[in-house]
A = this chain, B = another copy of it.
Amino acid sequence: MAKEAAGKLEWRTNVPDETSKKLEPDYGLVGKTWLRLKCVMGGLVMKVWGFLEKVWNLGVAEPRKVIHCARVGLALSIVSLFYYIRPLYDDFGGNVMWAVMTVVVVFEYTVGATLSKCINRATGTILAGALGVGIHWVADRSGDKLKPIVLGVSVFFFASAATFSRFIPSVKARFDYGAMIFILTFSLVSVSAYRMVELFELAQDRLSTVAIGASLCILVTMLFCPIWAGCELHRLIHQNMEKLVDSLDGCVAHYFKDSGNLTISEEDLNKKIQGYKCVLNSKATEESMCNFARWEPTHGRFNFGHPWKQYLKIGASLRRCAYCIETLNSCVGSDIEAPPCIRKHLSDKCLKVSSYSTNVLKELAITIMKMKKSSRIEFRVAEMNFAVQELRDALKSLPSHLLAPPSSTGEESTEAKSVPIKKADVLPPIMKVLPLITVVSLLEEIAARIGGVADAVEELASLAEFKPAKDRKPKQNLPTNKIISDNLNRQTI
């Protein structure tokens, strides 16, 4: 009975095991390995899937990068045609390799970069080729024994000199690739010349294939959805301005959030505030874009000789704002809170300064985007300066608040009640208002630096001869003027 029961129980409990046992023998060790492999493969597939998802998102976010990839594929496929089509192959033969190599090495994301590489490559090749042939001529006349020594020494000397030139900042910025190609071609020519007699023929074939590759690159990069370095730089500066607007707005709104001025969620706000970080590190990108843009011909709204260097100045002034916003951002996170009465007294003025400062940046961003001289920028800057002056005025009236206990100021009584008096006793007023005063001071500094951005943009507008913009909404000018005249009146009173 017990055994039967046990057997039943066993049978019952083992049902799944037995069925699995029934299945296992069919596979044995292979089956187990297969299962494990499936697990590993599953994990791998998941990882690859995750990676592909990331890549897909990158592609969706920046479709022009996908277009660039297609262009590279297209250029290489066209070059391959030289191989597949017999008459062309008969003409160029093995040298088509050089066309393929040129396309791979020279084809860059922006038109300017491609042009810069093409011109560098051509100049470097021609200079080095001519020099190589000259050295070869000298070496030929110096006897069989001296010939390898002359060639070797010349390779050593010119390669070293060209390598050193790549360390000189002005050369590095524009002709780095050319110097490398110079070294390459010179070494190849002087070394090949030692054995080959048909140097000129070789050079001609190679140059023609390189020219084919380079001109193909230039054609494809300029005809199929061209991406201009100049446009990219222009857009980068515009985006950086908008990021600073978001950051500054966000920082100040975050600091005065309990004043009821906050309309968006904490998460969105944090995201907005982080915008300045992109601006902090955009120097390298701006410089390379500017270098490439200077090689580009007239395109869109930009003429050849557009004052691209001025964009670097604007970028530098934007970065100076970003440094200040970075410091402001850490002040904003301070633990010590100013007494609500003082906070209330200054918050409106601070918010005004920040909103007028961002108005200036917004106007500058519009000037950059539309490439039209703004008629309102002077008003905006004046507004900002008046807001700063108002903030200073508000600060001037502070000392009485500072020492007086919060409850004594009649009109702030509601806020004053919420402050425990003991806490106010522990920290003397000056310590309590320290972060607030720092915020005020930084806001003033930011406004001054935004003034610097405005100057740089104005200089760009006059250098690039921007035309005056038509007034978009003339009605909006009225309140601006009103505020300024109000402010002026207050000043004179």
Spell out A's residues near B (CB within 8 Å).
54-55, 58-59, 62, 65-66, 68-70, 72-74, 76-77, 79-81, 83-84, 89, 96-97, 100-101, 103-105, 148, 151-153, 155-157, 159-161, 163-164, 167-168, 180, 183-184, 187-188, 190-192, 194-195, 280-281, 283-284, 320, 323-324, 326-327, 330-331, 392, 395-396, 398-399, 402-403, 428-431, 434-435, 437-438, 440-442, 445
Among A77, A151, A180, chain B packs the most CB atoms within 10 A around the CB of A77
How far is B159's CA from A74's CA once the two chains are assembled, in angstroms? 9
Residues of B within 8 A of A428 (CB): 396, 399
Is B437 touching A396 in the complex (CB atoms < 8 A)?
no
Using CB atoms, name the residue of chain B closest to A82. Answer: B191
Residues of B within 8 A of A156 (CB): 73-74, 76-77
How far is B161's CA from A59's CA once the two chains are assembled, in angstroms? 11
Distance in Å: Cβ of A96 to nearest Cβ of chain B: 7
Residues of B within 8 A of A152 (CB): 77, 80-81, 84
Using CB atoms, name the residue of chain B closest to A328. Answer: B327
Known: A101-B184, A104-B183, A180-B105. A96 touches B434 (CB 8 A): no
Is A430 touching B396 in the complex (CB atoms < 8 A)?
yes
Which of B66, B79, B403 touches A399 (beta carbons < 8 Å)? B403
Distance in Å: Cβ of A349 to nearest Cβ of chain B: 14
Is A188 touching B97 in the complex (CB atoms < 8 A)?
yes
Given A59-B164, A103-B187, 15 additional A-B pairs, CB 8 A: A55-B168, A69-B160, A70-B160, A72-B159, A79-B187, A80-B151, A83-B192, A83-B194, A97-B191, A101-B184, A104-B187, A105-B184, A323-B326, A327-B327, A434-B441
Residues of B within 8 A of A440 (CB): 434
Is B392 touching A73 in the complex (CB atoms < 8 A)?
no
Residues of B within 8 A of A326 (CB): 320, 323-324
How far is B148's CA from A81's CA once the two chains are assembled, in angstroms? 9
How far is B163's CA from A65's CA once the two chains are assembled, in angstroms? 9
Is A84 touching B438 in the complex (CB atoms < 8 A)?
no
Is A429 touching B188 in the complex (CB atoms < 8 A)?
no
Distance in Å: Cβ of A269 to nearest Cβ of chain B: 21
Distance in Å: Cβ of A62 to nearest Cβ of chain B: 8
Residues of B within 8 A of A399 (CB): 402-403, 428-430
Is B65 touching A104 in the complex (CB atoms < 8 A)?
no
22 CB < 8 A contacts A-B? A55-B168, A58-B168, A69-B159, A72-B163, A73-B157, A73-B163, A80-B155, A80-B187, A84-B151, A96-B191, A97-B192, A100-B187, A100-B188, A104-B180, A105-B180, A105-B184, A281-B284, A320-B326, A323-B323, A324-B327, A399-B403, A437-B441
Which of B54, B100, B155, B435 touches A77 (beta carbons < 8 Å)? B155
How far is B398's CA from A192's CA once the two chains are assembled, in angstroms? 82
How far is B188's CA from A441's CA once the two chains are assembled, in angstroms? 63
